[in-house]
């Protein structure tokens, strides 16, 4: 306890505990028996190469690895407790301690694996959007509205929006993986950059030569109402229909879908997620006035239409 390095490690560990280490381990602050141990490393220049160095009673040590484990401590009292030195510890107690150290290490690995990041998978559309502010009133059929403001650009599409929203809400505890199709163009670069900035995994965002990246044109009036036109582009032309989804949905607690991509792609992804045991959410349930495949709907746990889509349903 007088070793400054030991005390420094202890303070750092206690600080980690105060800052959520127990939550990460899934312990939630319960009252549990804790074992505090540290590995000591010989200070002798020849180190472990000197015969018998590790067990020599006159060897000076520095603190190595420091551990806190949630196990019973009875077997370790002979090793760690009181004023005992290594010379006072029987071989039986020492090897019991080694065995328990191995067991608690395996348990710690098991706990960490069980508390890995949650995963959300999203399959859907990605667009490059341009928004024009049109003032107090949206144009009607045949009407021209003149605006002096500069257009605003951003990345969108219901799929991309879902992925970014999931990453923002989930924070550091959620890994979001997004699958989409884009063109081989500057808009695709902007889409990938937006996903990276949001912390969304984009390994399954693939480029196609069949069409350009999807585009959105939005007219925005002062009150917040919008009128939108979407150019499908790669969102529809980029899929070959033979995509495998098992790797994307494996381990995912939820799959988020919309209807700005081919229905067959949605259905295949939903079927894979159903087999994997994930929750399936379908946004845009009445989108584009296309009929919903009953088998696809049966695989979905939640439908999330907006007002106009609900009317279509």
Q: Does position 230 have pLDDT exceeding 80, yes or no?
A: yes
Domains and CATH numbers, the chain: 4-114 (no CATH), 118-312 (3.40.1190.20)
pLDDT, tens digit, 9 for 90 and up, residues 179-218: 999 999 999 999 999 999 999 999 999 999 999 999 999 9
In the sheet that 118-123 helps form, which strands lie side by side, from edge to edge? 201-207, 174-182, 118-123, 252-257, 279-283, 302-304
Question: Residue 279: its pLDDT value, please?
Answer: 93
Question: Which candidate, 230, 209, 210, 211, places its Cα nearest to that of 219?
Answer: 230
Q: At what angle do helices 158-170 and 186-198 cross, to 10 degrees?
A: 20
The b-or-e profile of 132-155 (16+ CB within 10 A means b, else e) is: eebeeeeeeeeeeeeeeeeeeeeb
Q: Does position 80 have pLDDT exceeding 60, yes or no?
A: no
CA–CA distance, 80 with 242 (Å, rounded to integer): 60
Range of lowest pLDDT (77-81, 165-169, 233-237): 77-81
Question: Which candidate, 212, 282, 271, 280, places its Cα nearest to that of 246?
Answer: 271
Cα 232 from chain centroid (whole Å): 28
CA–CA distance, 177 with 14 (Å, rounded to integer): 34
pLDDT, tens digit, 9 for 90 and up, residues 26-42: 555 444 444 455 555 55
Tokens of 230: 């979407």
Tokens of 223: 């009150």
pLDDT, tens digit, 9 for 90 and up, residues 124-161: 999 999 999 998 888 888 998 888 788 999 999 999 99
Tokens of 83: 């004023």
CA–CA distance, 198 with 192 (Å, rounded to integer): 10
CA–CA distance, 277 with 262 (Å, rounded to integer): 23
């Amino acid at each position: 306890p007088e070793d400054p390095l030991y005390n420094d490690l202890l303070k750092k560990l206690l600080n980690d505990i105060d800052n959520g280490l127990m939550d990460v381990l899934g312990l939630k602050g319960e009252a549990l028996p804790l074992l505090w141990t540290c590995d000591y490393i010989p200070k002798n220049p020849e180190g472990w190469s000197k015969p018998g160095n590790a067990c020599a009673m006159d060897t000076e040590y520095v603190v190595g690895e420091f551990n806190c484990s949630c196990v019973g401590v009875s077997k370790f009292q002979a090793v760690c407790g009181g004023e005992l030195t290594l010379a006072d510890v029987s071989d039986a107690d020492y090897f019991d301690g080694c065995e328990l150290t191995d067991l608690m290490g395996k348990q710690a690995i098991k706990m960490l694996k069980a508390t890995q990041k949650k995963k959300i998978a999203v399959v859907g559309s990605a667009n490059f959007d341009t928004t024009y502010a049109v003032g107090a009133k949206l144009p009607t059929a045949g009407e021209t509205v003149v605006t002096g403001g500069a257009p605003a650009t951003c990345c969108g599409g219901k799929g991309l929006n879902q992925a970014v929203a999931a990453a923002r809400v989930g924070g550091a505890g959620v890994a979001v993986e997004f699958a989409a199709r884009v063109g081989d163009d500057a808009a695709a670069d902007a889409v990938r950059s937006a996903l990276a900035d949001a912390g969304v995994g984009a390994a399954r965002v693939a480029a196609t030569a069949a069409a350009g990246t999807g585009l959105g044109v939005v007219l925005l009036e002062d009150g917040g109402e919008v009128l939108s036109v979407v150019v499908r582009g790669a969102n529809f032309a980029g899929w070959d229909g033979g995509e495998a989804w098992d790797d994307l949905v494996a381990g995912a607690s939820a799959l988020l879908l919309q209807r700005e991509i081919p229905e067959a792609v949605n259905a295949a992804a939903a079927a894979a997620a159903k087999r994997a045991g994930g929750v399936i959410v379908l946004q845009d349930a009445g989108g584009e006035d296309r009929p919903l495949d009953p088998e696809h709907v049966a695989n979905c746990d939640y439908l999330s239409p907006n007002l106009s889509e609900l009317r279509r349903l």
